[in-house]
Homo-oligomer: A and B are copies of this chain.
Amino acid sequence: MKKGCSYGTHRVIEPKGTLPQPAQKIDNTMEIYDNEILIDVQTLNIDSASFTQIKEQANGDVEKIKDIMMDIVKTRGKHQNPVTGSGGMLIGTVEKIGPALEGKTDLKVGDKIATLVSLSLTPLRIDEILEVRKNIDQVDIKGKAILFESGIYAVIPDDIPENLALSVLDVAGAPAQTAKLVKPGDTVVVIGGAGKSGMLCLYEAKKRAGVTGTVICLGHSEKSIERAKKADLADHYIVADATNAVEVMEKVKEVTEGDMADITINCVNVPNTEMASILATKDDGMVYFFSMATSFTKAALGAEGVGKDINMIIGNGYTKGHAKISLQIMRENETLRKIYEELYA
């Protein structure tokens, strides 16, 4: 049996010397190396920005969506959208564990797990696409995947249904980072607050900011805002177009009485919302970009152009304990759990 690198560099086909994520193409042969785990895949949870792009390219046609997905995996050996660069995650059953992992992993054959590393670096083979659930970015397949030694995962808990757990784990980084960033008394704006990751961020923000803090939910429509209101996730609700920086600034100014946000969390997966995030934030404040539609240069040059001395963070999908933190929300908030079950599970 061949020996593998813990980061999976042994699977990179081109360009050589890179890691599996930035690689153009990786080897998706399903014969495992000594430190790999083989997964029998049940469901792919495609990254929201990626799936939106695929749906648009396919004009919503399910068969075309399937073709595009099959083509991505055939070309790259992984489900990394060539336009957005992003992936998603998967759920499946452990089928084989490489001998070099013995004593190193607590996984056993038959465990149902969600991989918490991106599909953009996960060797994947799709034999057949069984069902496309367009509204929740989930696709059931027949196929296999490989988890590298450094790859993170979560065993699906008994008290939370699979699809619900998967939906939550998909965006686990955002609420966990929020939990770590927000301090008592902070004013927090969540742009895209009524969305999948936005609602979890709001919940954590309110929990951490506490009674002395102010949490503001910004959504694109009254209808979406209603969801967040039902779960009582924020102190203020704003309906605004996140691509209109001036409108967002004025509305945040109004509810904060001119103070603006200590922390702005961008969870809205549409382009050109960098400037709204920057202008919503006070000087010396922080913008946490979780949206995969964020443009690095628009953020960097945008802040410079308006002379804003703020800390802008690239949302890291991983932080210690992120799976535990986010799954716990489903146990703590019954209303939010119901919303999640209706919309995403």
Contacts and interface: CB of A to CB of B under 8 A. Distances in A.
Q: Which of A121, A247, A305 has the most CB of B within 10 A?
A: A305
Interface string A83-95: 0111100000000
Kindly state the interface size class of chain A when it binds its partner.
Answer: 35 or more
Nearest to A151: B307
A298 B85 contact: yes
B274 A304 contact: no
Interface stretch (A135-143, A206-214, A227-235, A317-325): A317-325
A289 interface: yes
Nearest to A84: B297
Given A151-B307, A303-B318, A308-B318, A297 B85 contact: yes
A100 interface: no
Interface in A284-308: 289, 292, 294-308
B19 A118 contact: no
Contacts of A87: 301
A275 B22 contact: yes
A314 B315 CA distance: 10
A294 B298 CA distance: 11
B316 A85 contact: no
Given A17-B244, A19-B245, A244-B18, A303 B316 contact: yes
A307 B86 contact: no
A19 B294 CA distance: 16
B301 A121 contact: yes
Contact of A120 (B275, B301, B319): B301
A300 B315 contact: yes
B307 A300 contact: no
A343 interface: no
A344 interface: no
Contact of A314 (B9, B17, B275, B299): B299
A93 to B, nearest CB: 21
B300 A317 contact: yes
A303 B152 CA distance: 11
Q: Which of A21, A297, A308 has the most CB of B within 10 A?
A: A297
16 contacts: A18-B244, A18-B272, A19-B305, A21-B298, A21-B305, A22-B275, A85-B298, A118-B305, A121-B301, A173-B304, A292-B296, A296-B296, A300-B315, A304-B317, A304-B318, A313-B314
Given A9-B246, A86-B301, A312-B314, 14 more contacts: A17-B243, A18-B246, A18-B272, A18-B275, A21-B305, A85-B298, A86-B297, A87-B301, A117-B304, A151-B305, A152-B304, A292-B296, A301-B317, A307-B318
Closest 5 CB pairs of A and B: A304-B317, A85-B297, A312-B314, A304-B318, A152-B307
